[in-house]
Chains A and B, each alone.
Chain A
Amino acid sequence: MASVEVRNLSKTYLTQTGEECLALQDLNLSIEKGEFFALLGPSGCGKSTLLHIIGGLNSARGSVLINGQTVKGPGLNRGIVFQEYALFPWQTVVENVAFGLKMKGVPRKERLQIARDYLALVGLSGFEKRYPDQLSGGMKQRTAIARALAFDPEVLLMDEPFAALDAQTREILQAELLKIWEKTGKTIIFVTHSIEEAVFLAQRVAVITARPGRIKQVIDIPLPYRRYAEEDIRSSAAFSGVRHELWQLLSAEVVQAGVLAGSGAEPAQAAVSSAVRENLGSLPSILLQRGTDA
């Protein structure tokens, strides 16, 4: 049985002007237990919405199943890591990590011990008594990962968790996340707009189309399981091959996203969010030009 199944999922929402907007359309996904799965797509394609629906924080047409059970709302069988960390500033690091266990009704002493173990797993031993405001961005995200793992969910849902970090911290945390995944054996669904990140982390990558979001294609990443241990795997031929393949799939969607975002007054180039430009800095200008005219 698949760990996570998404069946015929569609999501519409009302814009401020009262129009119906189709964010996701007829999405189907099947993610195996213990798999590291990435959702890759241009900004605004609804990939975060999809993640929140799987997390039970949003409702939609269609269904999501975790281990065969239909999702009806949030639950402790899924842990979510947000891009904005979403730590509670009034709690110390260890209390933050113990939060889910508290909701589960685990006694204080026991849950603090478990929280300390998970802080050790993410390399934050010694920071238990700090408050989130005393931590760097990378340390905050480590805390958030420990928090999502501490109540031992089946599935870890990660919503662009490293997007706000500097490049070096991001690479370190990517490698650490793979180690944590190896140690815990969790099913991970990881939303990103970065091709590099998707290729480095995931076993399979689903490319999501520009709005309305649909699965364009699911690609297997032909890299070894313990890829963080390989020396400079990002320079390998296999890595750049699959990177290019994804780039081609994604670039058309980015142009499409640019057309959707550009209201005419703004050139498409500006409409394509900076996050996407990071990936496609070398996109031929003729493509973007055509986007403006269309």
Chain B
Amino acid sequence: MRVRIFQVGAIVLLLSAWELLPSKGVINPNFLPPLSETLKTLVALIVAKQLQGHILISLKRIIYGLGIALLVGYPLGLLMGWFRDFEKVVDAPLQAGRQISALALFPVFILVFGIGEFSKAVIIFWASFWPVLLNTIVGVKSIDPILIRSARSMGARGLNLFANVIVPASAPSAFTGIRLGASYAFMVLVAAEMVGANRGLGFLVLNSQETFKIPEMYAAIITLCLFGLIINHLLLALEHRATKWRQVRVGN
């Protein structure tokens, strides 16, 4: 309860500082408009139906990039974690690949795939693929071998073993990778939209700054922040549902 009071107190303090410091002239309001003005701009953008388009296109890019990263990274991670020889074969190129920053590759993707939506999906894919893949591999590799032996002794083989033992046992680690992947996807999304886009939240942030619509810039940043929080929350809720058994352990 006390913790809760302090939590709320900290947020109230921060928001009042944002409101009061610019309006009292401590901070130049041209650089940081007061909270109330920023929120007014945010509402105006929504009313004028300007923000929705940016949100939707950004969401679409995330869904494509992160979605493909999941569809490729997760099954590949399961296979690489389970079939050690397979992992050994593909390990070296993968280790090299994950060292290459997604942002460094963006010019390459633009060169090859053009400046359209596809290269944006590819760069988001690249950024979120690695945490998904690597955490899934770790999850599978760290399964207690006695569980596998026990499942095999009860006739679990092949796909049955995968579905009933390997997938649930590696789920906590895989979910960590998925959430990490989502947050990387956001970082890269904003950068990609700043470089080569005329829509999207990242574009809105940079474009507002360049045209000196500073309240709009902050409105876009707030939207990005809420957007990220909501996605992370949804993923956490999904994770809690999928790994319900782990909460009892924490409860003990």
Interface residues of A (CB under 8 A from B): 52, 55-57, 74-76, 78-80, 82, 84, 86, 88-91, 99-100, 102-104, 130-131, 133-134, 147, 151
Q: Is the CB of A74 within 8 A of B248?
A: no
Q: Is the CB of B153 within 8 A of A55?
A: yes
B159-176 toward A: CB 8 Å interface, digit per residue (1/0)?
A: 010001100110100000
Q: Is the CB of A90 within 8 A of B169?
A: yes
- In the complex, A282→B171 CA distance in Å? 49
24 A-B interface contacts by CB (under 8 A)? A55-B153, A57-B149, A74-B152, A74-B154, A76-B154, A79-B154, A80-B150, A82-B146, A86-B146, A86-B149, A86-B150, A88-B150, A91-B168, A99-B151, A99-B154, A99-B156, A102-B164, A103-B155, A103-B156, A131-B248, A133-B245, A133-B248, A133-B249, A151-B154
Tell yes or no: B99 within 8 A of A by CB: no
Q: Is the CB of A103 within 8 A of B154?
A: yes
Tell yes or no: B147 within 8 A of A by CB: yes
B160 nearest in chain A by CB position: A103
Q: Is the CB of B154 within 8 A of A90?
A: no
Q: Is the CB of B153 within 8 A of A80?
A: yes
Tell yes or no: B223 within 8 A of A by CB: no
Give the residues from 127 to 161 in chain B that come closer than 8 angstroms, CB to CB, to chain A: 144, 146-147, 149-156, 160
- In the complex, A103→B161 CA distance in Å? 9
B250 nearest in chain A by CB position: A133
Q: Is the CB of B252 within 8 A of A134?
A: yes
Other than A90-B169, A104-B155, give 9 A-B pairs with Cβ distance below 8 A: A57-B152, A79-B153, A79-B154, A88-B168, A89-B246, A90-B168, A90-B245, A134-B248, A151-B154
Tell yes or no: B183 within 8 A of A by CB: no
A132 nearest in chain B by CB position: B245
- In the complex, A100→B155 CA distance in Å? 7
Q: Interface SS of chain B: helix, strand, loop or mixed? A: helix
B146 nearest in chain A by CB position: A86
Hey, which chain A residues are within 8 Å of B154, CB to CB? 74, 76, 79, 99-100, 103, 147, 151
Q: Is the CB of B252 within 8 A of A78?
A: no
B209-252 toward A: CB 8 Å interface, digit per residue (1/0)?
A: 00000000000000000000000000000000001011011001
Hey, which chain B residues are within 8 Å of A99, CB to CB? 151, 154, 156, 164
A72 CB to closest chain B CB, in angstroms? 13
Hey, which chain A residues are within 8 Å of B243, CB to CB? 90
A48 CB to closest chain B CB, in angstroms? 11
A111 CB to closest chain B CB, in angstroms? 12
Hey, which chain B residues are within 8 Å of A52, CB to CB? 149
B166-208 toward A: CB 8 Å interface, digit per residue (1/0)?
A: 0011010000000000000000000000000000000000000
Q: Is the CB of A82 within 8 A of B150?
A: yes
Interface residues of B (CB under 8 A from A): 144, 146-147, 149-156, 160, 164-165, 168-169, 171, 243, 245-246, 248-249, 252
A46 CB to closest chain B CB, in angstroms? 17
- In the complex, A78→B151 CA distance in Å? 13
Most chain A Cβ neighbours within 10 Å, of B150, B152, B246, B249: B150
Most chain B Cβ neighbours within 10 Å, of A74, A76, A82, A151: A74
A138 CB to closest chain B CB, in angstroms? 16
B238 CB to closest chain A CB, in angstroms? 15
Hey, which chain B residues are within 8 Å of A78, CB to CB? 153
Hey, which chain A residues are within 8 Å of B146, CB to CB? 82, 84, 86
Q: Is the CB of B168 within 8 A of A74?
A: no
Most chain A Cβ neighbours within 10 Å, of B152, B154, B164, B246: B154
Ranked nearest first, the 6 interchain pairs of A and B with the lowest CB-CB distance are: A86-B150, A100-B154, A103-B155, A90-B168, A80-B153, A133-B249
- In the complex, A80→B153 CA distance in Å? 7
- In the complex, A90→B167 CA distance in Å? 11
Q: Is the CB of A74 within 8 A of B153?
A: yes
B169 nearest in chain A by CB position: A90
- In the complex, A79→B153 CA distance in Å? 7
- In the complex, A104→B156 CA distance in Å? 9
- In the complex, A80→B152 CA distance in Å? 10
Hey, which chain A residues are within 8 Å of B150, CB to CB? 80, 82, 86, 88
B156 nearest in chain A by CB position: A103
- In the complex, A188→B164 CA distance in Å? 28
B250 CB to closest chain A CB, in angstroms? 10
Hey, which chain A residues are within 8 Å of B153, CB to CB? 55-57, 74, 78-80
